């Protein structure tokens, strides 16, 4: 998987670990991910969550036969943050033939919950 010249690169998102049952990714809380008031942007949390779910789905399918696309995401932002790093841990809660559902918990360095998200991924046959 190529991550250069992607939203991941722009936001500083990095993969910490990756397997079929859990994806762990980090993202800095800095000028790239702030909203105008200087706090972590909720949209940056959502981008991190969908990225983790999408990459997790990708490793769960035969990538020569299928593409994966986010088709729905929700997020509850439960705590604000001004600086540091957040870590997303994504785990699959449903793996069907045409969809997957992933739960993504985003926490800070003290393991305080920042955001919880659920993302539905479509599994689409390549033509």
State the CATH number of the domain containing residue 30. Answer: 3.10.129.10
Catalytic residue among 50, 64, 72, 109: 50
Dihedrals phi, psi of 98, to nearest 5 degrees: -120, -10
Q: Average pLDDT in the 46-75 region?
A: 98
Q: Establish if 1 belongs to a structural domain.
A: no
Instruction: For residue 1, name the pLDDT band (cuts at 50, 70, 90).
Output: confident
Split into its structural domains, the chain has a count of 1
Domain range enclosing 66: 7-125
Q: Give me the pLDDT at residue 78, please.
A: 98
79 DSSP 8-state letter:
-
Mean pLDDT of the chain: 97
Cβ neighbours of residue 4 closer than 8 Å, sequence gap 6 or more: none
Question: Residue 2 above 80 pLDDT?
Answer: no
Q: Establish if 93 belongs to a structural domain.
A: yes
50 tagged catalytic: yes
- Neighbouring CB atoms inside 10 A of 64's CB total 6
For the entire predicted model, the pTM comes to: 0.96
Question: Residue 66 above 90 pLDDT?
Answer: yes
Q: Which two tokens stand for residue 17?
A: 């670990």
Share of the chain above pLDDT 90, in %: 95
Q: Give the CA distances from residue 87 to residues 38, 114, 121, in Å, rounded to whole numbers and listed in that order.
A: 19, 9, 20
Q: Establish if 31 belongs to a structural domain.
A: yes
């Amino acid at each position: 998987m190529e991550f250069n010249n992607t939203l991941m690169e722009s936001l500083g998102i990095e993969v910490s670990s990756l397997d079929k049952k859990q994806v762990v990714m980090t993202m800095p809380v800095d000028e790239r991910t702030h909203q105008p008031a200087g706090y972590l942007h909720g949209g940056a949390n959502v981008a991190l969550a969908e990225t983790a779910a999408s990459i997790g789905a990708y490793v769960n399918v035969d990538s020569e036969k299928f593409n994966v696309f986010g088709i729905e995401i929700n997020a509850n932002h439960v705590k604000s943050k001004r600086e540091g790093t957040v870590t997303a841990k994504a785990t699959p809660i449903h793996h069907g033939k045409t969809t997957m559902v992933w739960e993504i918990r985003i926490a800070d360095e003290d393991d305080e919950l920042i955001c919880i998200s659920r993302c539905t991924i479509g599994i689409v046959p390549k033509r």
